[in-house]
Amino acid sequence: MHPLPQATSPQYKRSNKLHRRIALVTGGDSGTGRSVCYHFALEGVTVAFAYVKGEEEKEKDDTLQMLREVKAIDAKDPIAIAADLGFDENCQRVVD
């Protein structure tokens, strides 16, 4: 994306209400989805996000790196799941 959207917020204050939860975010590799993933990670959530393989590889890698840097100690590593969610079977596979 150009210009790059701002995914982080220096004024954000953690609520510490989501530790040890898991979030699945669609389109988490960029834009609003990346920001949602980032803020979930700040709250101690283990984050998984879906992205379109091939089209969004660099964004996916950038988001994974960002999430690894801010994840809570007790959260698992973030997961990127390649899937085109325009198809019902892919949606079910991502959730499974």
- pTM comes to 0.84
SS (HEC) of 13-31: CCCCCCCCCEEEEECCCCH
The confidence score (pLDDT) of residue 1 equals 60
- In order, the DSSP letters of 61-76 are HHHHHHHHHH--TTSP
Report if residue 5 sits inside a domain: no
- Tokens representing 69? 């840097």
Which residue range forms the structural domain that includes residue 64?
Answer: 42-95
What pLDDT, on the 0 to 100 scale, is given for residue 57? 86
What's the total number of domains in the chain?
1
Q: What is the pLDDT of residue 62?
A: 92
Residues 10-57 pLDDT 10s: 778 888 888 889 999 998 888 899 999 999 999 999 999 999 988 788
7 domain-assigned: no
pLDDT of residue 17: 85
Closest CA to 87 of 25, 26, 29: 26
Mean pLDDT calculated for residue range 89-93? 94
37 in a structural domain:
no
Residue-level length of the chain:
96
68 in a domain, yes or no? yes
Domain assignment present for 83: yes
- What is the percent of the chain with per-residue pLDDT over 90, rounded to a whole number? 62
CA distance 87 to 90: 5
Identify whether 63 is part of a domain: yes
Q: What is the pLDDT of residue 26?
A: 92
Instruction: Tell me whether residue 17 is in a domain.
Output: no
